[in-house]
Structure formats: C-alpha cells, structure tokens
Amino acid sequence: MPHPELPAACLYSRPSLGRLWKKVHLACSPFLQRPALQRIYRLPSPRLRKHFGRRPYSVLALGCADGIKESLLLQKLPSPAVLLTADTNPSLARQAAIRLAARKKIWRKIDLTHELPASLSRALQPALFIPTLKTHKLPILITLFGVLPNLTPLPLLKRIARFLRPEDLFLFSANLAPGTKGHSGALRVLPQYDNPPTREWLEAAVAQFRPRLPKGRLEFGIFSDPQQKSLARIEARWISQRKTFTVFSSRRPTSSQVEAWIRTARLRKVARYLDPLGEEGVWLVARKA
C-alpha cells in the first residue's frame, strides 16, 4: 500500500519555505554549477524565434519560481506582449515577473494539480494594448521547468495539452535518470538530494505541516512511482514509529519514458535538447493536430 504523501505545494507555498528552497537551489542545483545544463535552456530560442516570427506572442511561465531558467530562454527572443508568471508561491512568481522583460506583466498563485483556469487565456490576450489585434488571439509559449518531477507527470501534461491551441508551443524540462535504466540512473544523482541544505528545507516543511506529523526522521531512497512501476522516484520519507509519509518525491524518467508521456498526452514533439550527462532534458512540443 503506498504511503500518504505531502502535496508538493506544501514544500514551497509559504514565503519561508520558498526562501529555504532557493538556498537549496543555490547550493546544490547542478543547473547553477554546469554551463552545459544552462545551455539546454538557451538552445530552443532560435526555433521559437522562427515559429513566432515578427508576430507578438505571450508567455505563460508555470511553476517558474524566480524565473532563472526562463530568463536564459527569453534573452534571445523579442519581449513578449504579455508575460504571466504562475507558481504556488506568489512571491516567487513576482520575483520572476520582475526579472523577465515583457510589455505587460502579471503574476499569480496557481495550483497545477487542477485544470488550468480559463481566466489564464483571457489574461494572456493584450486587447487593451494592441486594439487592432482584438479579434486575433496571440500565440502563447508555455514553459514548465523543473516541475514535472514533483507532480504526477502524465495528468499534468494532459491538463496543459487541453489548454494548448494549434498555434501555441509548450516547452518543458524533465530531470532524467541518466542512462536507460531508471533505478540505477536515479541512484547516481541521489547525493544531489540527500544533503544538509535539502534536509533543512524538508524538515522545515514537515514542522509547518498541519495536521502535525508524529516525531520521526528523514530517509532518502529510490523507489518505484506508485502510478507507474517502471518509473524511478527519489523520495524523502518521514519515518515515525507508527507511520511513514512521503514528504518529497522527484521522478526520474528516462528520455524514452518522457517521449511516451508526450504521445499519450496527445502532444507532438517538435524538438528535444539533452544535457550531455543525461541528467536533464528540455522538450519543445505542440498540440497534436
């Protein structure tokens, strides 16, 4: 029987937890330490420039935190007409909006475990700013970086696929298990999680969680995703005398598992950018015709 799980949003949504997550990111994230990983967020820009041409477009940055990855991507693109940054932590979404250039900026709290609200598409259409384009919907670029590991991936991809229109593009990243065997690949990256700053962040989230969890300790390990047995999941579990809880989980698919999700979610792969060490990948996709 699977253990009860804390919702991922509980680890980020309070301002103090957002600050602790940022500390973990600065100390432990390979993205900040390896230029090759930063590059995979810059590489899609020419393709996006070609797709949108000179047309105005909007950007919806989902689960953006403070927008560092989006800033690499957007550096080489014309500023979007509207930028909407959305995260469970609104103060991080605000930081992202401040960091990124756009003609109009909006930030929002969002819960990505639910259907994307229709109000998002209305907010992304700048009729007030370009009156001549009133009847013409702007194409939207949706980004979703570093979120797929924390939430159940296939339902999330399906929710975003339902939101996409034919002219929109969707760019997402996945943290991968290097190699072709998920579990042994995930074991190689376990030290990126089992370390003092990550423990400090997760223990703070446990202390703030209500109803209170019993006294216990954190243990990290590799397990199978309860919803897809072949998918490796790095978990931090809270072990108490009576009960075990999954506090944090990071799914580590292989790139072929990601591509199977793309097909099942009725998306079409446009391009793929892989980290040379195979620890992370970025996929550019569109709605299937």
Residues that bind ligand SAM (CB under 6 A): 8-9, 12, 63-65, 69, 87-89, 92, 110-113, 145-147, 150
Q: Long-range pairs for 233-236 at CB < 8 Å and ≥24 separation?
A: 233/186, 234/186, 234/189, 234/190, 234/193, 236/193, 236/194, 236/198, 236/202
CA–CA gap between residue 85 and residue 104 (Å, rounded): 11
Task: Check residue 258 and give left, alpha or beta (phi > 0: left; psi -120 to 50: alpha).
Answer: alpha
> Between residues 22 and 56, which has the closer beta carbon with respect to ligand SAM?
22
Min separation Cβ 114 and ligand SAM, Å = 8
Cβ proximity to ligand SAM: between 56 and 283 the closer is 283
Q: Which residue is nearest to ligand SAM (CB)?
A: 146
Task: Give the nearer residue to ligand SAM in terms of CB position, either 81 or 110.
Answer: 110
The smaller minimum CB distance to ligand SAM, of residues 56 and 85, is found at: 85
Q: Which residue lies nearer to ligand SAM by CB, 56 or 63?
A: 63
Instruction: Report the nearest approach of ligand SAM to the CB of residue 105 (Å).
Output: 17
Tell me whether residue 110 or residue 189 sits nearer to ligand SAM (CB atom). Answer: 110
The CA distance from 201 to 22, in Å, is 9
The conformational region for residue 239 under phi > 0 = left, psi -120 to 50 = alpha, else beta, is: beta
**Integer Cα distance of 255 and 119 in angstroms:** 33
Q: Output the smallest distance, CB 200 to ligand SAM, in A.
A: 16
Return d(Cα 170, Cα 173) in angstroms, integer.
10
Residue among 57 and 172 whose Cβ is closer to ligand SAM: 172
Least separation in angstroms between residue 111's CB and ligand SAM is 5
Please state the closest distance from residue 158 (CB atom) to ligand SAM, in A.
15
CB of 132 to ligand SAM, least distance (A): 34
Q: How far is the CB of 127 from ligand SAM (least distance, A)?
A: 27
CA–CA distance, 15 with 64 (Å, rounded to integer)? 15
3-class SS of residue 288: coil
Hey, what are 2's tokens? 């699977």
Rg (CA), the chain: 19
